[in-house]
Amino acid sequence: MHEHPPVLRGSALGPLPEWVEANLAGEITLGAKAARAGMSERTLTRRFREQTGSTPLRWLLRARARRTQYLLEHSDHTVERIARQAGFGSPTAFRKRFRRVLGTTPYAHRSTFRGRRRSRRSVPD
């Protein structure tokens, strides 16, 4: 699941999605997102839903899950460190969200991905 967030080019949301992605490790409130987009929280929520089909919070949680997925696949960081890097309050919250979004555990995901990488390497060129 390496989908990109559903944001339309030239949308009224401007560079907000990129800013969120770049700042996932920190606390990102609805107020902070609205201020960054230059609109009220209510307007941001309405426009976000119109343009992405998602709420700002749901989009943020999916962005965090995508970040953790990438880190699990491409790093040897601990689950605790990955949880911090993606802005989850705790490893428990991270595991719960990961399972909800991806239907598996972080450990199982990492194990599956690494198994695929090893099998690709063993195939002769």
Query: What is the set of domains in the chain, with CATH numbers?
Result: 16-122 (1.10.10.60)
At 109, the amino acid letter reads: H
- pLDDT at 42 exceeding the cut of 90: yes
At 77, the amino acid letter reads: H
Distance of CA 115 to the CA centre of its chain: 23
- pLDDT at 5 exceeding the cut of 70: no
* The pLDDT of residue 43: 94
- pLDDT at 1 exceeding the cut of 50: no
Decide if 51 contacts 13 (C-beta within 8 A).
yes
Residues 6+ apart with CB under 8 A from 3: 66
